[in-house]
């Protein structure tokens, strides 16, 4: 079977974390949304229908959940890079892209916006 480039994606994962520059952000916490894209060749898994031949997305989820819910960072840039690096260290992939959104950032005035950091790492 020829080699292919494939994507595995986790989208719109939601977590509660205590990250931010200010002490109030770290104390009160905020909702974070996460997308993870893994570029890999999953042709062997598709052919075998065997989880051992692909990336267990539950393990990817747990890496992200631990970093977001159990640790605290001042910057979402640091948090997104750390999650991406953890995933890259744990799995054989061509690249990993992490998009992390702070849903209600502490901005002055009324806002419905989000703060987002995106990082792509290639081994």
What is the dihedral angle through the alpha carbons of 59, 32, 75, 96, rounded to the nearest 10 degrees?
Answer: 40
Longest dimension (CA), the chain: 56
Active site residue 102: yes
Residues 6+ apart with CB under 8 A from 14: 31, 32, 33, 34
Q: Which of 11, 39, 70, 102 is catalytic?
A: 102
Active site amino acids: 102
């Amino acid at each position: 079977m020829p080699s292919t480039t494939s994507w595995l994606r986790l989208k719109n994962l939601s977590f509660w974390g205590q990250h931010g520059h200010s002490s109030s952000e770290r104390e009160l916490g905020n909702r974070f949304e996460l997308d993870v894209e893994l570029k890999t060749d999953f042709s062997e898994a598709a052919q075998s229908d065997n989880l051992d031949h692909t990336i267990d997305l539950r393990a990817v989820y747990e890496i992200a959940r631990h970093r977001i819910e159990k640790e605290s960072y001042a910057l979402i840039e640091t948090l997104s890079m750390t999650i991406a690096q953890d995933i890259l260290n744990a799995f054989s992939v061509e690249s990993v892209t992490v998009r992390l959104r702070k849903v209600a950032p502490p901005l002055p005035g009324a806002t419905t916006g989000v703060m987002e950091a995106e990082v792509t790492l290639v081994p």
